[in-house]
Structure 1
Amino acid sequence: MTELLKIEGLTICPINAPDRKLVSNVSLLIAPGKTTCVVGESGSGKSLTALSVMALLSEQLIRMEGRILFQGTDLATLSHEEMRKIRGRQIGMIFQEPMTSLNPVLTIGFQIGEPLSVHLGLSGDALNKKVAALLEQVGIPSDRANSYPDELSGGQRQRVMIAMSIACEPRMLIADEPTTALDVTVQAQVLNLLDSLKTSMNMGMLLITHDFGVVADVADDVVVMFRGEVVESGSVADVLNHPKHPYTKALLDCVPDAEGKKPLKPIDYAWLNTEQEQA
């Protein structure tokens, strides 16, 4: 499998508490045209891992060790200016909450056009035509380019974020909970859009989610994280049908069945107590 992104032994700690590992020894691999889903509860380190790829970690955090290889280049060794040339151009990112990620005082057309201007040097009619085409591509009429974020629905804002992230046709896309707070119908539309764009552009995609339904629909590979560590990884078929780690099994036990006959169960952490006793 050709490697697009390879994370090896990533460890992240607070700068004032280096012994407290928020992400510990995380490794994963993403190939062109493939989707790797990272799943786990809130606080498991999913977003920290994604932000480390983009070099967007808080100044209160430090990456202690590990490599983040993108097309063979360790991103952790690049300067701020070198990373600016990669963000948006070669790696796009859809952030978790579109309303707080979009600037409320700038039109969506301006915000979609900014990476095109910065990275590709587009301006004037060429820029306007590309922005219009991107809006149409994500299912928003091109005449909404002069709208502000608060004039759009949640699903439309999410589509604007997608348009921004794919504007420069990046090699890889990071989607951090791209369907958060969306209703089921819009969620399906957004996921189908992402999957079709990934296929048409042969992008690698790192998708962060809590939803195993999303994983089953779009993932090629799955990485399960718990308390900052990878506890299980593999193909979507292997992980969903033959989970090996107790935490993965506990997460899957929380998923209701289609008929509604399966009782909802809270996550059982009994396995964790057993592991701590053995340690």
Structure 2
Amino acid sequence: MTELLRIENLTITPKAEPGRALVSQVSFALEAGKTTCIVGESGSGKSLTALAVMGLLSDQLQLGQGNIVFKGFNITHASHAELQRIRGKEIGMIFQEPMTSLNPVLTIGYQIGESLAQHLKLTGAALKARVADLLQQVGIPPERAGSYPDELSGGQRQRVMIAMSIACEPAMLIADEPTTALDVTVQAQILKLLDDLKTRMHMGMLFITHDFGVVTDIADNVVVMFRGEIVESGPVQDVLLNPRHPYTRALLDCVPDADGKKPLKPIDYAWLNAGAA
């Protein structure tokens, strides 16, 4: 398989406190046509890792050490201009909150077309046709291109975010909890849409979630993060069927079964005090 992304010993620290790691020694790889899920509770470092790949860390944060290599190119040493050429064209990203990620005063057609104009230099009728095609791909009527974000439902806004992220047919897609704010039915539709797009475009997908139910549906490989570190990783079936780390087992205990008979257990962090971190 073709390796798209390799993260080696990634560490992220606050500039004001370089000795305090928010993400520590994170390493994993992503192949073309495969989905790697990063799973963990809020604050575990999932989104920070994704933002580092995109070169979008806050000015208050810095890369402490490590490398992020995309298609053989070391992103950690890239200039702003080099990152601008990669973002949107080679790597697409669906940000965490579609309700606030879209500009409320610009039409969805304009926002989808921005990266097409920037990276592919499309204009006029060609640009309009490509925007219409992208809207159709994500299940929105092309005539809605002139709509504003507040005229759409939550599920439709998420589909617009997906259309924006795949506009230039990137080699890799980062999806940062794209279904968190959606109801179960719409969530299933979005997951199927992403999986279909990944297969058709042979993209590598880095999918961030706190939900092992989602991992079961879409992942080829899984990375489990806790407090900024990877505690377990591997092929999804190995991790789901034979979890080795207490934190992974605790997350799996939080997943309800289909008939609702399985008792749900809150995460017990006693293993931390027992030296199991």
Quote the offset at 1:212 in angstroms: 0.8
Take 2:37 and 2:78, find their aligned partners in 1: how far apart are those partners? 26
Question: Once structures 1 and 2 are overlaid, which stretch shifts more, 188-197 or 261-270?
Answer: 261-270
Quote the offset at 1:2 in angstroms: 2.4
Counterpart amino acid of residue 53 in structure 1: V
Q: How does 1:41-52 map to 2 (within 5 A)?
A: 41-52=41-52
Residue aligning to 1:181? 181
Quote the offset at 1:99 in angstroms: 1.5
Take 2:165 and 2:255, find their aligned partners in 1: how far apart are those partners? 31
Residue aligning to 1:12? 12
Take 1:253 and 1:264, find their aligned partners in 2: how far apart are those partners? 6
Quote the offset at 1:261 in angstroms: 1.2
The number of residues matched between the two structures is 277
Q: CA RMSD in A?
A: 0.9
Take 1:130 and 1:222, find their aligned partners in 2: how far apart are those partners? 34
Take 1:184 and 1:254, find their aligned partners in 2: how far apart are those partners? 17
Q: How does 1:225-240 map to 2 (within 5 A)?
A: 225-240=225-240
Take 1:174 and 1:143, find their aligned partners in 2: how far apart are those partners? 28
Instruction: Calculate the TM-score normalised by the size of structure 2.
Output: 0.99
Residue aligning to 1:260? 260
Counterpart amino acid of residue 195 in structure 1: D
Q: Please say if 1:242 is aligned against 2:242.
A: yes
Counterpart amino acid of residue 156 in structure 2: Q
Unaligned runs of 5+ in 2: none
SS of alignment partner, residue 199 of structure 1: helix
Q: How does 1:129-208 map to 2 (within 5 A)?
A: 129-208=129-208
Q: Please say if 1:73 is aligned against 2:73.
A: yes
Take 1:7 and 1:202, find their aligned partners in 2: how far apart are those partners? 20
SS of alignment partner, residue 3 of structure 2: coil
**Deviation >3 Å, runs of 4+:** none
SS of alignment partner, residue 8 of structure 2: strand
Counterpart amino acid of residue 24 in structure 1: S
Quote the offset at 1:268 in angstroms: 1.0
Q: Percent identity?
A: 74
Residue aligning to 2:54? 54
Take 1:170 and 1:9, find their aligned partners in 2: how far apart are those partners? 25
Unaligned runs of 5+ in 1: none
Instruction: Calculate the TM-score normalised by the size of structure 1.
Output: 0.98
Quote the offset at 1:32 in angstroms: 0.3
Take 1:213 and 1:185, find their aligned partners in 2: how far apart are those partners? 14
